[in-house]
Amino acid sequence: MMAYKKFKKYAALVLVVLGFISCKERGFLEQVYVGSALGTSYQVKLFSNKELEIDKGLDSIFTVINNSMSTYQEDSDISRINKGDTTVVIDDNFKEVFIASRKIYDESKGYFDPTVGSLVNAYGFGPDHTKDSLNAVEIDSMLQYVGLNKLTLTSQNRIKKQAPEIYLDFNAIAKGYTIDVIAKYLDKNKIDNYLIELGGELVAKGENIGNQQAWIVAIDDPLQEEGSRTFQATLKLENRAMATSGNYRKFRIEPKSGQRFVHTISPITGRSQKSNLLSASVLAKNCALADGYATAFMAMGMEKSLEMLKDLKDVDVYFIYSEGSDDVKIYTSDGFQKVLVE
| Farthest CA pair distance, the chain | 68
Cα–Cα distances (Å) from 202 to 37, 162, 282, 287, in that order, read 15, 35, 10, 7
Q: What gap in Å lies between CA 20 and CA 163, rounded to an integer?
A: 58
pLDDT tens for 267-286 read 998 877 777 888 899 999 99
Per-residue confidence (pLDDT) for residue 21, from 0 to 100: 40
Total domains present in the chain = 1
* CATH code, domain carrying 67: 3.10.520.10
pTM of the model: 0.86
The H or E element containing residue 62 is helix 55-69
Q: What gap in Å lies between CA 149 and CA 115, rounded to an integer?
A: 9
Name 39's Cβ contacts closer than 8 Å, sequence gap at least 6.
72, 199
pLDDT tens for 309-340 read 999 999 999 999 887 655 678 999 999 999 99
Name 197's Cβ contacts closer than 8 Å, sequence gap at least 6.
11, 12, 14, 42, 43, 44, 179
Per-residue confidence (pLDDT) for residue 271, from 0 to 100: 78
Per-residue confidence (pLDDT) for residue 254, from 0 to 100: 55
> Phi and psi (nearest 5°) for 21?
-65, -55
What's 250's DSSP letter? Answer: -
Range of the domain at 87: 1-342
Per-residue confidence (pLDDT) for residue 264, from 0 to 100: 72
Per-residue confidence (pLDDT) for residue 141, from 0 to 100: 86
Q: Convert 132-156 to b/e letters by CB count within 10 Å (16 or more is b).
A: eebeeeebeebbebbbbeebeeeee
pLDDT tens per residue across all 342 residues of the chain: 343 333 334 344 444 433 444 455 456 799 999 999 999 999 999 999 888 889 999 999 999 999 999 999 999 999 999 999 999 999 999 999 999 999 999 999 999 999 987 787 676 655 554 445 667 888 888 899 999 999 999 999 999 999 999 999 999 999 999 999 999 999 999 999 999 999 989 999 999 998 889 999 999 876 656 666 678 899 999 999 999 987 654 545 555 555 554 557 789 988 777 778 888 999 999 999 999 999 999 999 999 999 999 999 999 999 998 876 556 789 999 999 999 997
